[in-house]
Every structure is written in C-alpha cells, then in structure tokens.
C-alpha cells in the first residue's frame, strides 16, 4: 500500500518534507525543531497526524505526505479533516500519489475535508477539480498570531 500512517521514526523525514515544501514555495529560511515536531505528532497528546506516500514497489522511500488535524463542524455535527499540507517531491508527481493521499483522507471521515491553496496555483486547482473538490466562496480567512516579545 503506497499510503500509510506516519510513525515516530518518520519525524525527521516529515520535517524534511515540510522544509522542502517551504523552499519550493520560496521560503528559504524555515528550519523546524525536530524534537518539538515529534512531540506534537507522536507525544502523549498529539496535535496533528500525517499520512506518508511511498512509491509502489519502493517500501521505505518517502515520496510525500499529507499533514492533517481533526476539525469539527457544528452545523454538520460531525468531525472532518483539516489538510494543512500536501506535498510530493517533484520526482514522484504525476504518478497518482497525491490522489491516493486525498482518497485516504476522504475515507477517514464522513465530514468535510478542507484545505487552503495559494492563489495562482493553477496546476493544484486543476488537480483538485479533477477530484471533485470545489473552492469555497463567500468566506474570509482570518489568522490570529501570537505576538512574540
């Protein structure tokens, strides 16, 4: 199976994927604290979870990931999934692994699977449309960051 749940032993690879994705998107300075990420994903009170995509016939090779957390819709009265990050290394794109990651997420909830996409990412928009996903209009995104001294 090319999609599997991440384990604590995957923490280094997960951090590397996040940093690779940041660089791909133009952020050349992101460096994650591996111990802190391991705690958040695999500690006694995990805050998020990850699915790993492995290329068929290449067990142990990490092609990409989906970084997720649970959310809850009061109006639907059911849990859903917030997809914070979906990334495949360039050499593993266009082999169906992104679709397999999203299909695996869809199978985990009868609620909504939601994510954000950077404006202007036409390839991603076309990919999501092929899956049947639609942009959400009429909502404004807000963010409230912790102010640091």
Catalytic site includes residue 142: no
Distance of CA 112 to the CA centre of its chain: 15
Pick the catalytic residue from 24, 87, 92, 128: 128
Residues in Cβ contact with 22 at an 8 Å cutoff, skipping those fewer than 6 apart: 28, 30
User: Does the CA dihedral 75-111-39-37 come out positive or negative?
Assistant: negative
Residue tagged 């660089």 (tokens): 23
List the beta strands (DSSP E) in 61-136. 64-73, 78-88, 113-115
**What single-letter DSSP state applies at residue 96?**
S
Return the active site residues. 128
């Amino acid at each position: 199976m090319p999609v599997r749940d991440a384990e604590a032993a995957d923490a280094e690879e997960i951090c590397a994927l996040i940093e690779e994705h940041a660089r791909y998107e133009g952020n050349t300075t992101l460096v994650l604290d591996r111990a802190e990420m391991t705690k958040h994903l695999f500690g006694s009170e995990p805050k998020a979870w990850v699915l790993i995509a492995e290329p068929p016939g290449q067990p142990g090779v990490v092609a990409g990931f989906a970084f997720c957390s649970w959310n809850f819709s009061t109006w639907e009265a059911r849990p859903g999934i917030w997809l914070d990050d979906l990334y495949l290394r360039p050499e593993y794109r266009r082999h169906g692994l992104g679709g397999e990651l999203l299909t695996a997420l869809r199978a985990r909830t009868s609620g909504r699977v939601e994510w954000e996409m950077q404006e202007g990412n036409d390839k991603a928009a076309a990919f999501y449309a092929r899956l049947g996903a639609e942009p959400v209009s009429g909502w404004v995104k807000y963010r409230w960051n912790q102010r640091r001294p």
